[in-house]
Chain A
Amino acid sequence: MRPADGGPARIMQEEVVDMSNKIHLAASGGLSRRRFLEATAAAGLGAALGLHQVPAQAATKRFEGQSLNLVIIQPHVVTGRKLAADFEAATGAKVNVTAVPYDQLLAKATLDVQSGANEYDVIDYWFANVGALARDAILVDVTQWIERDKAEIQPDDYLPNIYDAYTLYDGKRWGLPYDGDSHVLFFNKEIYDRHGLKGPKTWDEYLANTKAVTQAEAKNGIYGAAVLGGKAPIIIGSTYANRLAGFGGSFLTADGKSALDSEAAVLAAKALKDVVPYALPTPLETRFEEGLPAWLSGKVAAIEFWTDLGVYSQDPKGSKIVDKWDVVRIPVGGKNTTPRLALNAGYGFGVSSGSKKQELAWELTKFATGAKYHRDLLLTTASGIDPDRKSGLYSPEYKAFAPKVQGVLDGALENAVPWPTGPDSPALQVALADQLALILAGQKEPEQAIADAHAAWTQVLGA
């Protein structure tokens, strides 16, 4: 319970949830018979007294004295700390947060269970790996729990394609969405204005703008765009996914085969190659650790980035471009004229199969991904959290907090292109990232690289 949230009405409401949870936990075997009887007695007492008569002081924290280990990606470390404090304040349970690099979480979580160390209870997983984590029995199947706690979770509040992409594999649910990531295109108005440029709507306009700025200002250390091309799949893959979505393509066909043999897939790779000479040197060395400071210090005129960059850009503590930026949807190209986003990155919370406290881990998962808490995180500077719920994306508070970003996301996330999420996703990611890196290094032509990636994907998916 959080006194800061105040008000007897809220406290009483949480009392009801508290008692209801006790019964749920006891019924599912998470608590002892004694605690079950306590909970039932408390519920009966509450009913007899008419609930409103239960004094606030009588409330004990549900999980006092217990602890959980949460493994979280480094960019979520701010929310991890906040979550630990808020969950402890609400339930009494202590949460130990372990931050790991974003591209190593899958290996850490897998090794934790496989080795028998079983250190982690809750995993902050990249949604593209949900199939791999499920197949290898690293995540717990939470389908029944979601059904049981439906009223609390409000699954219908999640943006449907995010909910399915992030949690669904083999007809079962393996977690709940936590961070609804997608890229949009940010541009520096001040730099664009100097050259009479406007926010690009097509990839051709983007290239022309980038070229114009770099040719005019590279000698001053200012470049037309930062292109995130670091070889990690989540980085270079996201940059390619933006173009793939923009050109109207997708990663997989409806029946789950490789769709990289499409014209859109090749055009996307060509668009990526074309911008390399004019991008912040050099795309292959640019991960978001390099791209972010370049953008915030006004050294690049454009960057495709996760939507929370809007909040960072307006934070005077770290940004030199406050009120000097704007944002558009990911440009279109080729035959496609409808703007589309790609679900780049994006994380869910799941319960580790190695956890000895799976019910408590599930409580933390629900707490972190709940509608109200999600909205709180959206409104927290540097949280790194982007909308995954309708109640967050379309809330007046978020509209006021990040008006520009909310404007470009409005109605767009619903049709965003997901990455492959099957069990072979890690192998697919690496195969594609390798070929894209060869394009950026100038060692392979886009047509050949994408054909090779398609061949590799066909082999992996057919195996």
Chain B
Amino acid sequence: MAQDSSRSGALALRAGAIDGFSGGPGRFARLDLLGSLASGRWLWTAPVVAGLLVLSIYPTIFLVALALSNSRLGRPFQSFAGLNNLLKAILDPAFQAALTRSIAFALASTAVELVLGVAVAVLMTRLVKAGRFLMSLILLPLMTPPVMVAVAWKLILAPVGGLANGTLQKLGLIGEPISFFGSAAGAWSSVGLADAWQWTPFVAILAYAALLAYPKEIDEAAMLDGAGPWARFRLLMLPFLAPSLVSIALLKLVIGFKLFDLVFVLTYGGPGFETTTAAFHIWRLALEQFDAGRAAAETLLFALVVGLVTWPLTRWQHRLEVREA
């Protein structure tokens, strides 16, 4: 039976090849597909297709269905809501503000951590002997679960009994403890600091890996020509790194949009709503107020915004790849 199917597949392939010459590429591809189906080769792609169905298509359909319905967490799909949830989400000033904060944080944290990460990566290439030790050291924050990072920073920055306040008070630099989470600026700085502590190593490692392919001869030649370190970095190393950096920036941007754990543990979206990001806002809607329909609508809008913000970077990455090729 297997022989039969492979024979018929081969025949179909041959037929496709002949027809392909006479009937154009579309017909060729169609017959190729038929041949593939007949030979059972499509089975090789089944795990990927199943994975896509389970992990991507089904959740998306479910999300859209939720967004178009009046759904509570305990009782989804109560009634059809049309575009009500989407309209409410679009017109909600709190959600608009949360989206803005998410975009601002994603962009700012990506920019800062990209600069810091590249600096660390360059430093690692310079310190060849200490490089491996540094690598192990900077892997630590990456291996720590985000929620533990948040708890650690909460303990460090706590106004009473916190390491930072305790040290500053012992040194006589402050009289009263500082409430790091008590103001918008303080809360964002704290969240940003914790995020940088966790994700700068991620950028550094990827940048370091890209730098390992950087040809030393060019650097040495430029040095012989009298180029200083900054000029060599700006004119040689940075253009070399550019395609990798764009990819890293894209990843970090998406990670920045996903900010949740740090906000949940450190600020709970406060003071007031100052650090309420889109992800946190949606979480509250779904799991505090149980409005699953509205939360789904906001999730769809959030995904759209993430897509729009990352789109230029994706285009740029594609252009660089084409140029390299």
Q: Which residues of A contact B (CB under 8 A)?
A: 104, 107, 110-111, 113-114, 132-133, 135-138, 218-219, 221, 230-233, 280-282, 284-285, 290, 293-294, 299, 426-427, 429-430, 434, 437-438, 440-444
Give the interface segment out of B85-93, B174-182, B242-250.
Answer: B174-182
What CA separation (Å) do A218 and B160 show in the bound complex? 11
Give the interface segment out of B51-59, B70-78, B100-108.
Answer: B70-78
Say which residue of A132, A219, A233 sits within 8 Å of B290 (CB atoms): A132
- With both beta carbons as reference points, the residue of chain A lying nearest to B274 in the complex is identified as A441
> Is there contact, CB below 8 Å, between B73 and A232?
no
The answer, yes or no, to whether B270 is at the interface (CB within 8 Å) is yes
> Is there contact, CB below 8 Å, between B160 and A427?
no
- With both beta carbons as reference points, the residue of chain B lying nearest to A229 in the complex is identified as B270
> Is there contact, CB below 8 Å, between B289 and A426?
yes
The answer, yes or no, to whether B284 is at the interface (CB within 8 Å) is yes
Q: Which residues of B contact A (CB under 8 A)?
A: 72-76, 158-161, 175-177, 179, 181-182, 268-274, 284, 287-291
> Is there contact, CB below 8 Å, between B177 and A281?
yes
Q: A107-B73, A132-B74 are in contact. Are A231 and B179 (CB under 8 A)?
A: no
Q: Output the least CB separation between A369 and chain B (Å).
A: 24
> Is there contact, CB below 8 Å, between A219 and B271?
no
Q: Output the least CB separation between A174 and chain B (Å).
A: 14
> Is there contact, CB below 8 Å, between B271 and A284?
yes
Q: A281-B182, A284-B181 are in contact. Are A437 and B272 (CB under 8 A)?
A: yes
> Is there contact, CB below 8 Å, between A230 and B160?
no
A137 — which chain B residues lie within 8 A by C-beta? 74-75
> Is there contact, CB below 8 Å, between A280 and B268?
no
> Is there contact, CB below 8 Å, between A437 and B159?
no
Say which residue of B158, B177, B268, B287 sits within 8 Å of A107 (CB atoms): B287
Say which residue of A113, A138, A280, A444 sits within 8 Å of B160 (CB atoms): A280
Q: Output the least CB separation between A76 and chain B (Å).
A: 21
What CA separation (Å) do A181 and B175 show in the bound complex? 38
> Is there contact, CB below 8 Å, between A281 and B289?
no
- With both beta carbons as reference points, the residue of chain A lying nearest to B181 in the complex is identified as A285
B182 — which chain A residues lie within 8 A by C-beta? 281-282, 284-285, 441
> Is there contact, CB below 8 Å, between A282 and B74?
no
What CA separation (Å) do A230 and B75 show in the bound complex? 29
Say which residue of B73, B270, B272, B289 sits within 8 Å of A110 (CB atoms): B73
What CA separation (Å) do A232 and B267 show in the bound complex? 11
Q: Output the least CB separation between A234 and chain B (Å).
A: 11
Q: Output the least CB separation between A228 and chain B (Å).
A: 13
> Is there contact, CB below 8 Å, between A285 and B159?
yes
B289 — which chain A residues lie within 8 A by C-beta? 426-427, 430
Q: 26 interchain pairs (CB within 8 A)?
A: A104-B287, A107-B288, A110-B73, A113-B74, A114-B75, A132-B74, A135-B74, A136-B73, A137-B74, A218-B176, A219-B175, A230-B268, A231-B268, A231-B270, A281-B179, A284-B181, A285-B182, A290-B158, A294-B160, A427-B290, A430-B284, A437-B270, A438-B272, A440-B271, A443-B271, A443-B272
> Is there contact, CB below 8 Å, between A441 and B271?
yes
